Structure 1
Amino acid sequence: MANATGRPTAPLVLSEAEREYLERQVRKHRVARSLSERCRIILRCGEGVPSKVVADELGVHEHTVGKWRRRFLKDRLDGLLDEVRPGRPRTIDDDQIAAVIERTLRSTPSDATHWSIRSMAGATGFSHTTIRRIWNAFGLQPHRTETFKLSSDPLFVDKVRDIVGLYLSPPNRALVLSVDEKSQIQALDREQPVVPMMPGVPERRTHSYVRHGTTTLFAALDVASGFVIGKCYKRHRATEFLDFLKQIDASVPSDLDVHIVMDNYATHKISVRSIT
């Protein structure tokens, strides 16, 4: 009985420039997933891998591999791009979009600290949905700010390496704990007991509460296991921190060496000097 053979597959040969472009797109972090997937398909096909094997490797349908293979053979790299879809023509040109971006980056409104979508829409005459699309396309978020701090310590890099190395590769028979505290935690309680949930009725509690002062939580985190040693104190002093260190010592097996990572807070320094 003769073996059935399908339609012969046209060979796909990549030039050096095409291969470099495809590999560059695959390595990029900020590239559309669809384009990255298409580039992976063509790279594997260019290595002579059958379409069915490529589909299994990348988790796509074999017809998908065949589609992009045919489009690449016809139009080369341009065939991997999405075709222009029919719809309403653009009403904003590139210069107008560039002006919105420039205004967002280089100026602030006279009555606020940053632009909002509606204030930018009012200043430019575009709709707020248009401004939203422009900002989303270029990753602009004027309402968000982040802080940073550059250390002036000349040994900062060495210290970071020591601490990271301690976390990633601790010594044998050792326990590495990250220690810190959270102060000024308000101890609140409801004026009346919470009414438990019942069929058809959610849990209910009073909106008003009673203050019982503040408390400070001292905690030590075992990064490797996620286990936490914690204790609350009424005050936040070196005495309380020293007592917490003693609690850690009592909670840890005696055959383990304890390494503590903490910041340079004055309370910590005084407590460490008291121990030593």
Structure 2
Amino acid sequence: MRAAPLVLRDGDREILQAWIRSTTMKSGLVLRARIITLAADGVAHAEIARRFDISRQTVINWRSRYLAHGIEGLHDEHRSGRPRTLDRDKLITTTLTPPPRKYGVTHWSSRLLADHLGIAHGTVSKVWSEYGVQPWRAETLKFSTDPELAGKVTDIVGLYMNPPENAIGTAA
């Protein structure tokens, strides 16, 4: 027995079509939008399942969710599991502030920050990736932590200002 075409609510076809055309929409939502629009066009469940390489039951489930909840029913439900305990704001704020002088570095590495905060370095890397943070690329002035910097700079500038007699590149 073939299911009757799905009747869409007012304005939903335009929303579903926009989801299908979107390049930023999550792929799961795009697939669900395609399932619902094909069901509304009267395409059989088995044919929709074949087109998207999914089970017939998946098509039936999404059709039922749409009937019960409309467009909102197509979004992911909250999953079970332990809630996040990491304070991501604190991690990002700490990342964007210079490390304490005791570490002797100009910016954080994931391992150093992880040790400082008492968390796994993979967690730091994952959060940095999610937020697009790259502390080693910060466009701010970095100060050297070398205690002998002033003497080294004086020596180098002195060589440029008064090069030795047989130095390469000096005019005769």
TM-score with structure 2 length normalisation? Answer: 0.58
Aligned length: 134
**Separation (CA, whole Å) in 1 of partners of 2:36 and 2:53:** 14
Matched, 1:80 2:74: yes
Bigger relative contact order (CA 8 A; separation at least 6):
2
Aligned twin of 2:84: 90
Q: 1:97-116 residue pairs with structure 2 within 5 A?
A: 97-104=88-95, 106-109=96-99, 111-112=104-105, 114-116=107-109
Alpha-carbon distance in structure 1 between the residues aligned to 2:2 and 2:44: 13
Q: Does residue 1:13 correspond to 2:12, yes or no?
A: no
Residue deviations 1:132-152, cap 9 Å, x none? 33234x25352786xxxxxxx
Q: Displacement, 1:66?
A: 1.2
Q: Secondary structure of 1:115's match?
A: coil
RMSD between superposed Cα atoms in Å:
3.1
1:66 paired residue among 60, 79, 85: 60
Of 31, 38, 46, which residue of structure 1 is paired with 2:32?
A: 38
Name the amino acid aligned to 1:142: Q
Residue number in structure 1 paired with 2:134:
142
The ranges of structure 1 where at least 4 consecutive aligned residues each deviate by more than 6 angstroms after the TM superposition are none
| Separation (CA, whole Å) in 2 of partners of 1:86 and 1:33 | 21
Name the SS for the 2:83 alignment partner.
coil
Q: TM-score, normalised by structure 1?
A: 0.40
Q: Where in structure 2 are there 5+ consecutive unaligned residues?
A: 138-172
Change beyond 3 A, Cα 1:8–1:86: same
Match of 1:131 in 2: 124
Aligned equivalents of 1:28, 1:40: Cα separation in 2: 12
Separation in 1, partners of 2:13, 2:93: 36
Tell me which protein shows more helix as a share of its residues. Answer: 2
CA distance in 1, matches of 2:73, 2:90: 32
Higher strand share: 1
Amino acid at match of 2:110: I
Distance in 2 of aligned mates of 1:55 and 1:82: 20
1:70: Cα distance to partner?
A: 0.9
